[in-house]
């Protein structure tokens, strides 16, 4: 019963992750004016002013400059030391914000660390999420994490979900947390109410201050409903066979393009992931905007059709890139057989996508990776002039 409860709690945290990374991006106006800097490592020096909205994808970025509008950063390591006048959206393995953000911060990663000043709210999701001692958040903190640590000063409310939550700073509003274990340190000062649910009641030190009410709600002891079994094995097998058949057709018809795209995906994974994430979000938004005009409806339907096709083709495309890399390592061949690469990679990627709790995230990463590869191939063809009327 405990295992089932843990699964349900983790699912709620994953929902918060989806909201922070995707839905918050939909509500941002940054995508309409972004500029891309696709290099693997980027350093923005102090004093450099970025006048337009800034989109970057790659391996590592150190942002020390001054951004006058919003910035969107996707990569392995994202570090912000400068001043951002607008909002920040960051998606990376490790996100650290030490500078000043005058708008909102929406960040997700394995580790998310806020140590600077944020004028409005922060929405954070990750394995380890920390609002450090030097942090100053103007509005609310909304977080989903395995371990959540809140110190510094929060001008609004603190709310979210975590396996372990630690409160150590000053909160001007209310605290509302769902957690397995809550720790309240002596340095805490909550000017509002403290609402929380946990496995057991937290020990609140005498030195800690809670000006409002403290309301503890034990986690329900009623046995939860069993989790749905999901698709039967036969259905999953048919889906996998469909992906494999599609992959064979793609390799048969477009062998050179499949190899070029897969090589590009392997050589520049973070850049492809960033561009793919942008395509995943911007395409349906653009299609809906076109639909606002009556004459744009046919084009909207075409765009959505192409979008759905691209999402389906992402799995065999990831299979080619993943399988080629694995066979290169195993067989020491520079260019392994495309059919074998596709089959091996597609099966592995499909199985990884079935892992409970994290399978959806693996699928999301794979889709973004593949969409980035498609975007790169399309851009190259446009630059080469092969998409003209005669193409």
Encode the chain (391 residues) as per-residue pLDDT tens digits.
Answer: 444 444 444 444 444 444 444 433 333 333 334 444 444 678 899 999 999 887 776 678 899 999 999 988 877 889 999 999 999 988 788 999 999 999 999 988 889 999 999 999 999 988 899 999 999 999 999 998 899 999 999 999 999 999 999 999 999 999 999 999 999 999 999 999 999 999 999 999 999 999 999 999 997 654 555 545 544 667 888 888 889 899 889 888 888 888 889 888 988 888 888 888 888 988 888 878 777 766 677 788 888 888 899 999 999 999 999 888 888 877 666 778 888 888 888 988 888 888 877 888 889 999 999 999 898 888 887 777 654 444 4
b vs e for 182-196, b when ≥16 Cβ sit within 10 Å of the residue's Cβ?
A: bbbeeebebebbbbb
Enclosing H/E stretch for 91: strand 88-97
Name, in order, each residue with C-beta under 8 angstroms of 140's C-beta and a sequence gap of 6 or more. Answer: 121, 122, 154, 156, 157, 158, 159, 173
The widest CA-to-CA distance across the chain, in whole angstroms, is 79
Q: What is the pLDDT of residue 19?
A: 41
Q: Is 34 left (phi over 0), alpha (psi -120 to 50) or beta?
A: beta
* Domain ranges, ordered by start, for the chain: 2-218, 233-383
Rounded to the nearest angstrom, the gap between the alpha carbon of residue 23 and the centroid of all alpha carbons in its chain is 10
Whole-model pTM: value is: 0.59
Q: What is the pLDDT of residue 35?
A: 41
């Amino acid at each position: 019963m405990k295992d089932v409860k843990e699964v349900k709690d983790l699912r709620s945290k994953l929902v918060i992750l989806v909201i922070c990374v995707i839905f918050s991006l939909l509500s941002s106006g940054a995508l309409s004016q972004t500029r891309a800097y696709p290099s693997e490592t980027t350093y923005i020096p102090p004093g450099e002013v970025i006048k337009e909205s800034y989109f970057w994808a790659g391996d590592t970025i150190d942002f020390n400059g001054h951004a006058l509008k919003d910035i969107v950063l996707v990569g392995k390591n994202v570090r912000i030391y400068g001043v951002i006048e607008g909002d920040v959206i960051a998606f990376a393995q490790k996100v650290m914000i030490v500078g000043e953000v005058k708008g909102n911060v929406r960040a997700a990663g394995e580790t998310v660390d806020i140590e600077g000043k944020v004028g409005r709210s922060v929405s954070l999701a990750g394995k380890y999420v920390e609002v450090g001692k030097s942090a100053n958040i103007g509005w609310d903190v909304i977080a989903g994490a395995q371990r959540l640590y809140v110190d510094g000063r929060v001008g609004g409310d603190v709310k979210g979900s975590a396996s372990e939550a630690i409160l150590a700073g000053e909160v001007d509003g209310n605290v509302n947390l769902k957690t397995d274990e809550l720790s309240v340190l002596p340095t805490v000062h909550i000017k509002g109410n403290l609402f929380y649910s946990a496995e057991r009641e937290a020990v609140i030190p005498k030195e800690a201050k809670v000006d409002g009410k403290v309301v503890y709600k034990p986690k329900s002891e009623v046995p939860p409903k069993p989790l749905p079994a999901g698709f039967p094995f036969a259905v999953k097998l048919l889906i996998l066979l469909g992906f494999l058949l599609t992959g064979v057709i793609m390799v048969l018809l477009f062998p050179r393009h499949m190899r070029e795209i897969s090589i590009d995906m392997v050589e520049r994974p973070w850049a492809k992931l960033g561009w793919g994430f942008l395509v995943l979000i911007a395409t349906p938004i653009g299609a809906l905007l076109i639909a606002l005009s009556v004459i744009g409806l046919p084009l909207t339907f075409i765009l959505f059709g192409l979008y759905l096709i691209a999402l389906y083709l992402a799995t065999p495309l990831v299979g080619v890139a993943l399988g080629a890399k694995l066979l290169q390592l195993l067989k020491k061949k520079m260019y392994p057989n495309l059919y074998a690469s596709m089959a091996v990679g597609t099966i592995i990627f499909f199985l990884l996508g079935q892992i409970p709790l994290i399978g959806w995230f693996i699928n999301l990463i794979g889709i973004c990776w593949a969409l980035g590869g498609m975007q790169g191939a399309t851009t190259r063809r446009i630059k080469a002039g092969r998409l003209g009327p005669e193409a």
